[in-house]
Amino acid sequence: MYKKKTTQEAVLDVLIYYSNCLLSLQECKDLKSLAKKLFLYGITVEMEKHGNRIGFGSFYCNDNNNYIAFLTRIAVLPQYEGKGYGTQLLKRIEEIAFEAGMKYMRLEVNKTNERAMNLYNKMGYVFDGNAHACSCYMIKVLQKGD
């Protein structure tokens, strides 16, 4: 089951809950401000199964010029890694972005994060330029039923 977070407090709850498994959240000094930004301008979706929290993703669908959605964060709890939940979650995120009128999904990934790079390649993402020395952008054309 996927739950779209519809309040700033719900987004903050997700960020706090997953902060132990997502390094970028551990480094974030102000989760309240991040939650506000994601609530106002983005979409946060959490995946649950049998009442257990599995993972979440946050993304933006507000580029109405180029129709590019941007995945800012995706995480699956360590005990659920390697079981296909990341793939399922990313597919749902892509569906929501497509339904919102987006034509592409773009993301930034650390070049040393092999698990993520493999997932994105498997899901059809291609290299779209270097972001920084240690990270790159990847992009995918979104299609119905993808």
AA identity, residue 10: A
Q: Which one, of 134, 132, 136, lies nearest residue 121 by Cα?
A: 136
Q: How far apart are CA 44 and CA 58, in angstroms?
A: 4
Find the distance separating the first CA and the last CA of the chain, reported in whole Å: 18
Q: Is 120 a catalytic residue?
A: yes
Q: How far apart are CA 104 and CA 97, in angstroms?
A: 8
109 forms beta bridges with: 136
Tokens in use for 68?
Answer: 């590019």
Please tell me what DSSP assigns to residue 5: -
Query: Largest alpha-carbon pair distance within the chain?
Result: 41
Place of tokens 């257990």: 52
> Of 18, 60, 80, 120, which is the active-site residue?
120
The catalytic residues are 120
